[in-house]
Amino acid sequence: MKFLVKAILFSLLCGTAHLIAGCADKNSSSDVLLRLGHSLDPQHSVHKAMVFLGERLHEYSGGTMKVRIYPGSQLGSERDMIELLQIGSLDMTKVSASSLEGFAPETQIFSIPYVFRDNEHYWRVLNSPIGKDLLTGVETFKLKGLGYYDAGSRSFYTNDRPINTPADLKGMKIRVLNSPTAVKTVRALGGAATPVSWGELYTALQQGVVEGAENNPPSYYLSRHYEIARYYSLDEHTSVPDVMLMSLRTWQHLTAQQQEWVRMAMADSVAHQRELWRASTEASLAKVIEDGVEVIYPDKQPFVDAVKPFHDSYKGTDVGDLLEKIKAM
């Protein structure tokens, strides 16, 4: 998105052309309105968690801080919204950690397949100094990392044939996030990685532009991709968290007390979303199975073996060192 378009978006959102002021409107000496954009459906657990964040922030602040949410990519793609944060034209956004890869290279660690042994290991890493350092590291790019939401594990869903082994992916056009590491992951498993925006994916599946995609169960269900892609193979190759970001400019305009209220509301929101996520994942799988989708539970070891050379390619790099630290935890 060009800067002029961002400026126009800002004026629509904030009712002002004064970009330097940022979007954290101070309605009085103490009132703040934070505008939050994201790409998800309002039925998604992460959206519900953001609504809860707004409620908790309003409560903690005695009604002086409010959050207004713009779901469903109303303000553009995840990359667009990150760029809006960087220039102070939007206050907050939720993005996949994969979307941060082009800004903060170390976040590519989340898009490397089979980094985490299980869900317990995943959350131990996110809550460790490693996870906190990855959040802090985005400040170099005028962003403030507030916390992680659970986005489960990504698995393949396909139109015409199931994925039981990596060999089944050979030559298959698979939609991936616009992430170099996600592209390399699918290629390492034998597929033809094809970046397509989330909003265009239903049509791309329908028209055969891609033959499959990969995502977690709630996203697969809520997007209605299961209507076309009738095979869902739970290989769980990556666990990519969602990341809540704030414009560093907005953060620096808040008082120390307001910043603490934001931290408290975010912590509550993360805990709430993890409970919502568990229920949503179970319900989503049940719904697609009820609709006749064939859910496959493949042996993961052949997939793990297939990406070992990919892991080895990081040796001697900063990301490789980080990968080894995570494996040792």
State pTM to two decimals.
Answer: 0.83
The per-residue pLDDT for 276 is 94
230 φ, ψ to 5°? -95, 5
d(CA 2, CA 129): 36
The per-residue pLDDT for 7 is 46
* Residues in Cβ contact with 192 at an 8 Å cutoff, skipping those fewer than 6 apart: 171, 172, 173, 174, 186
The per-residue pLDDT for 14 is 54
Type and span of the H or E element at 55: helix 45-60
d(CA 260, CA 246): 14
Class of residue 41 by CB neighbours under 10 A (exposed 0-12, middle 13-18, buried 19+): middle
Type and span of the H or E element at 243: strand 242-247
Domains in the chain (CATH in brackets) are: 3-99+141-149+240-281 (3.40.190.170), 154-239+288-328 (3.40.190.170)
Instruction: Give me the torsion for CA of 120, 121, 127, 132, rounded to 10°.
Output: -150
The per-residue pLDDT for 197 is 85
C-alpha distances (whole Å) from 37 to each of 79, 104, 198, 311 are: 11, 20, 15, 34
Q: Which pair of tokens denotes residue 1? A: 């998105």
d(CA 273, CA 277): 6
Write out pLDDT tens, residues 231-248.
999 999 999 999 999 999
With tokens 């968690």, the residue in question is 49
d(CA 37, CA 213): 24
The per-residue pLDDT for 105 is 86
The per-residue pLDDT for 24 is 52
Q: Identify which of 72, 73, 85 has the alpha carbon closest to the alpha carbon of residue 23.
A: 85
Q: Where are the alpha helices (DSSP H) in 189-307?
A: 201-207, 217-222, 248-253, 256-290, 301-306
193 φ, ψ to 5°? -70, 130
Name the maximum alpha-carbon separation found in the chain.
Answer: 62
Give the chain's residues under pLDDT 50.
1-4, 6-8, 11, 15-22, 26-29
Q: Which residue type does 211 have?
A: E
The per-residue pLDDT for 19 is 37
The per-residue pLDDT for 13 is 53
